[in-house]
């Protein structure tokens, strides 16, 4: 393997690596716009220049497309390199509108960061800026500001190399270049299209759902797992920082809502990508909640509901439990420890594919639309969901079960987080917490376990399923 020296530090690079890759592997930073570790190398932006020592002095070239050679001596911050980067930044920002004050990318913009680091001066141009289209509708999900675009082509390469939709291309040349969607509508139908927003290094590609919603410094990310399918992609859920809480009447609910969802890179599961459904999971988790226990549709105190459920469980001769594939490993283990010996246990799918959604592909999306089917079946087996006709008590946990399948006359204990008609049909109903209100783990289809972390407090009147199972086992003979 070739050895080279970068800024006086000798490192060993894998064969075939570029200077950019070798530096990144060694934790040495070289700035870049167009380069991305998962995409091809176009060499568009020229900001990644480095100096290379030679007999005739130092020559300057881009690091992203420069192969490592034995004995190479590289400088990432020499005088020549700084001068070239400054000139490059002047060129890149020549026609930029410098509208940071209204740009959603402000605070996360690589162009901003590099301007202060490598340029820091006003434009030297005396010519009028070339104007381009503003607020161009690239798709129903994405707005494009061509004046901010620096033609890095990351978005174009993503649709060609990762999502394979070939949905984006470049029109025209030079300072008239425009990113545009192809006319067949493939970009609008690309289930991974929103990834181009993340990889855009400037504020050119903007999410309609997040546009002008919140400044990024008002928000904080919490590590979580997308529950949209059995892939279990790791994600960041962005929500309001406590120090930036809204206090105006009618706006306080926004303190406990998810403002956006972005990928949390995980080489073992999803790499740096997620699908669009994962970005929309806030809509699923933000549905109207059930917050009151009920007895046959009538509001009840939680302790009274627990007492009634205990009585039903104790009296049952053939109780069956149908457990949730959206439950965490911790909740499933708690159920097994407390009540597993008392019930015959079946695993159900809480969610099935929605009409029109991509059911499965070769990238990330899985046909099973539940995050923890593997975890549930590891504890309770692979038996098909068939309720025995002589079951006299059915404990239903989570969504997805047709109550018409429950034998006539069987008592029903129901645990669910959402407002649904079935809640009032149960003999005993318990409102339960969701994954943003507790810590836990899911195990995906490949056996990889990923953690999610609490974002928000649990609403008053809502119980954690783990605590409920322990309480229900008090008179149910859970360990008997």
Contact 226, 261 (CB under 8 A): yes
For residue 420, give both structure tokens: 């649904």
8 A C-beta contact, residue 263 and residue 270: yes
177 closest CA partner among 192, 195, 155: 155
Sign of the Cα torsion 211, 223, 163, 21 reads positive
Tokens 């996360």 belong to which residue? 108
What burial letters (b/e) apply to 34-53, b meaning 16+ CB within 10 Å?
Answer: bbbeebebbebbbbbbbbbe
pLDDT at site 75: 97
| C-beta separation of 278 from 235 below 8 A | yes
Among 450, 266, 449, 434, residue whose Cα is nearest residue 364: 266
Rounded to a whole number of angstroms, the distance between the first and last alpha carbons of the chain is 63
CA 345, 350, 355, 358 torsion-angle sign: negative
Taking the C-alpha atoms of residue 60 and residue 288, their distance in angstroms, rounded to an integer, is: 59
Answer for the pair 304, 225: CB distance below 8 angstroms, yes or no.
Answer: no
* Domains parsed from the chain with CATH numbers: 3-92 (3.10.20.740), 100-207 (3.30.70.20), 294-472 (3.40.50.740)
Reported in sequence order, the residue ranges of 400-478 that DSSP labels E, i.e. its strands, are 411-416, 428-431, 440-443, 449-452
What is the Cα–Cα distance from 196 to 359, expressed in whole angstroms? 22
90: left (phi over 0), alpha (psi -120 to 50) or beta: alpha
- If DSSP codes are grouped into helix, strand and coil, which group holds residue 393? strand
> pLDDT value at position 121?
86
**CB count in 10 Å sphere of residue 456:** 19
Residue 477 is predicted with a pLDDT of 38
> What residues pair up with 59 in beta bridges, in sequence order?
52
Alpha-carbon gap, residue 399 to 277, rounded angstroms: 19
Q: Are 451 and 223 in contact (CB under 8 A)?
A: yes
- Helix (H) or strand (E) run with residue 8 in it: none
- Where b means 16+ CB within 10 Å and e means fewer, 129-157 reads eeebeeebebbebbbbbbbbbbbbbbbbb
Q: Which pLDDT value is given to residue 120?
A: 81
**319-323 vs 393-397, strand pairing mode:** parallel
Q: Look at the block and give the residue holding tokens 């919603």.
A: 213
pLDDT score at 119? 87
Task: Report the chain (480 residues): mean pLDDT per 10 consecutive residues.
Answer: 94 94 96 97 96 91 96 96 96 92 94 92 88 95 96 97 97 90 95 98 96 95 98 98 92 92 98 98 96 97 96 97 98 97 97 96 98 98 95 97 96 97 97 98 98 96 96 59
Round to whole Å and give the CA distance between 195 and 215: 19
Question: What pLDDT, on the 0 to 100 scale, is given for residue 480?
Answer: 34
Q: Which of 82, 83, 86, 109 is nearest to 98 (CA)?
A: 109
Q: Distance between CA atoms of 358 and 2, rounded to whole angstroms?
A: 45
Is residue 475 within 8 A of residue 310, CB to CB? The reply is yes
Q: What is the pLDDT of residue 479?
A: 33
Q: Which two tokens stand for residue 48?
A: 């990644």
């Amino acid at each position: 393997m070739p050895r080279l020296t970068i800024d006086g530090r000798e490192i060993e690079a894998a064969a075939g690596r570029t200077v950019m890759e070798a530096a990144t592997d060694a934790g040495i930073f070289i700035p870049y716009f167009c380069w991305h570790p998962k995409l091809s190398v176009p060499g568009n932006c020229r900001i990644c220049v480095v100096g290379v020592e030679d007999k005739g002095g130092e020559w300057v070239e881009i690091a992203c497309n420069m192969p490592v050679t034995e004995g190479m001596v590289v400088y990432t911050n020499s005088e020549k390199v700084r001068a070239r980067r400054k000139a490059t930044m002047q060129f890149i920002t020549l026609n930029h509108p410098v509208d940071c004050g209204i740009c959603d990318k402000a605070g996360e913009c690589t162009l901003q960061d590099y301007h202060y680091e490598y340029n820091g001066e006003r434009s030297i141009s005396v010519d009028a800026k070339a104007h381009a289209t503003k607020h161009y509708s690239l798709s129903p999900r994405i707005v494009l500001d061509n004046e901010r675009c620096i033609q890095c082509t990351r978005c174009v390469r993503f649709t060609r190399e990762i999502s394979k939709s070939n949905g984006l291309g470049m029109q025209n040349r030079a300072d008239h270049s425009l990113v545009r969607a192809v006319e067949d509508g493939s970009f609008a139908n690309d289930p991974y299209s929103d990834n181009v927003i993340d990889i855009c290094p400037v504020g050119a590609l903007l999410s309609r759902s997040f546009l002008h919603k919140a400044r990024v410094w008002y928000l904080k990310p919490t590590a979580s797992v997308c529950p949209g399918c059995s892939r279990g992609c790791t994600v960041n859920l962005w929500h309001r920082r406590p120090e930036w809480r809204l206090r105006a009447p009618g706006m306080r609910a926004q303190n406990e809502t998810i403002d956006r969802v972005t990928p949390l890179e995980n080489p073992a599961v999803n790499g740096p990508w997620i699908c669009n459904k994962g970005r929309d999971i806030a809509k699923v988790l933000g549905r109207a909640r059930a917050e009151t226990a009920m007895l046959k549709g009538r509001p009840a105190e939680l302790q009274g509901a627990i007492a009634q459920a205990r009585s039903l469980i104790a009296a049952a001769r053939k109780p069956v439990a149908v457990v949730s594939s959206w439950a965490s490993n911790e909740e499933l283990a708690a159920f097994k420890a407390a009540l597993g010996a008392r019930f015959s246990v079946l695993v159900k799918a809480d969610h099935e594919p929605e009409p029109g959604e991509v059911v499965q592909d070769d990238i990330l999306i899985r046909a099973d639309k539940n995050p923890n089917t593997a975890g549930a079946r590891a504890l309770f087996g692979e038996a098909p969901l068939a309720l025995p006709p002589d079951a006299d008590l059915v404990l239903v946990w989570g969504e997805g079960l047709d109550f018409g399948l429950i034998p006539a006359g069987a008592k029903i204990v129901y645990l669910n987080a959402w407002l649904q008609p079935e809640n009032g049909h149960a003999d005993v109903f318990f409102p339960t917490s969701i994954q943003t209100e507790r810590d836990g783990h899911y195990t995906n289809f490949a056996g990889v376990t990923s953690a999610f972390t609490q974002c928000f407090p649990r609403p008053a009147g809502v119980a954690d399923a783990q605590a409920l199972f322990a309480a229900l086992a008090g008179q149910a003979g859970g360990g008997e």
